[in-house]
Amino acid sequence: MSCTSCSTGKPGGCKSNGGCSSGGCNRLNVHDWLANLPFSDPDSDCRIVEVTFNNGSRKEFYRNNTLQTFMKGDMVTVEGISGFDVAMVNLTGELVRLQMKKKGVKEDNPEIKKIMRRANDMDLQKWRESKEREKPSLVRARAIIIQLNLDMKLIEVEFQADGRKATFYYTAEDRVDFRELIKIYAGEFKIKVEMKQIGIRQEAAKIGGIGSCGRELCCSSWLSDFKSVTTTIARYQNLTINQTKLSGQCGRLKCCLNYELDTYLDALQQFPNNADSLELSRGTAQLIKKDIFKNLMWYVLPDSNKQYPVPIERVKEIRAMNMRGQRPDELGAIELSPAKAEEKEHAHVELVGQISLRTLERNSRKRKDKERSQQQQQRGPQQGGGQGQQQRRPQQQNRPPQGQGNQPNKQGGQGQQRPPQQQRQQQQNRPPQQQRGPQQQRPPQQQNKPQQQNRPQIEKKKDQPPQNDNA
């Protein structure tokens, strides 16, 4: 099969390299695992071929009376109603007999139609033209239903390959009188009309979509038989009867509830029957729920609302004692510790070398000092008032402070101020007692500084005008 066999013009077949999805050509796809196995008797080969219509939404059996051998994905021309139709081969060989046995179709049934030939270019061209008419016809058909005010919902329109017949699939809650509708459709589309009612589940299968599990809908991808699903199935599995969570896109209970039902039924056989109530000396214990995974049965006593988990073996013992007319004193409940996940401290992994906290602190300190120095460099020209003061600053830092020249300028606010970094270094070198008051003595190593010798003169000469350094 080539990619051009898809009616949409896009790769949608077996050779699309994973491009198929819900509603694609692989809908209800199967794998013939017996295709490469030889059989001793060639006459015993099944001459019935399973084909699919409308991209896998419908399957039927056809008899292969030709001498040709068909493989999965081949396009064949089959008998239709007063014409011919084009279908895709889905399954051949012995697996077809299993499918026929499953659906109750006999191999010698005379009503099985025949395969005429392998589809040629003319057949495929007519088939594509008929498929292009489906969407506009669906829109027009729905408009006619609205005009006639019929209580029905049109789902899909399927044209035969030769364009002589069309099947209209619809859903309705009650019976619909569509005799007038068929006359209008036959006059509007100039074809033979066939009305076919389907259920809600079949509607979801034709539309397709993604389920709550994140996968394609089972009814759209592989599920062909729809079994009844009831709330009893959910109760067997101890599921909460929540209509929103248990319903699928069709509005009915999910089909996947039937998948694990047999496993739950096998597990429930280990639980004792007729154990809804147990007779004790304190009263009658009533069964509340069953824990299939832990093999526990939960009971509640009449004098309290507390639920007691009881093992299956203990329930059987109490039940046997009750049959003998005995009533035990204790229920024999076990204590269940809350299952809490132990918090484990993950070991610190050094990804880049061996990095310690001291290294990180040292790097952060260097980064902060670098940023502070950059800010001081940007702040310097604004405070100094020009390039001349920037050039004089290193000389003033190396010059010993003069009491009469620099100190009054600090009080008046007109002279050059000491950089903050130099002040911070002097404060770090001072002991803590020096910052508390001006009357405390300095340490001996700082007494020889000229700044301390000139401090009394500065206090006496506060009234003198400030002196310039350039004078």
More confident residue, 380 or 5: 380
User: Which tens digits make up the pLDDT trace of 18-61?
Assistant: 444 444 556 777 777 776 766 655 555 778 999 999 877 888 99
Q: How far apart are the first and last CA of the chain?
A: 105
Q: Per DSSP, what are the bridge partners of residue 170?
A: 154, 197
DSSP 174: S
Segment 301-305 mean pLDDT: 83
User: Which tens digits make up the pLDDT trace of 133-178?
Assistant: 999 999 999 999 999 999 999 999 999 999 999 999 999 988 888 8
DSSP 110: T
Segment 224-252 mean pLDDT: 88
393 near 416, Cβ under 8 Å? Answer: yes
φ, ψ for residue 310, nearest 5 deg = -125, 130
CATH 3.30.300 residue window(s) in the chain: 133-204
Across all residues in the chain, what is the average pLDDT? Answer: 76
16 vs 8: CA distance, rounded Å:
13
133-204 to CATH, choices 2.40.128, 1.10.3470, 3.30.420, 3.30.300: 3.30.300
238 near 289, Cβ under 8 Å? Answer: yes
User: Which tens digits make up the pLDDT trace of 66-97?
Assistant: 878 888 889 999 998 888 999 999 888 888 88
Residue 342 has pLDDT above 90, yes or no: no
Quote the pLDDT of residue 135: 93
302 near 291, Cβ under 8 Å? Answer: no
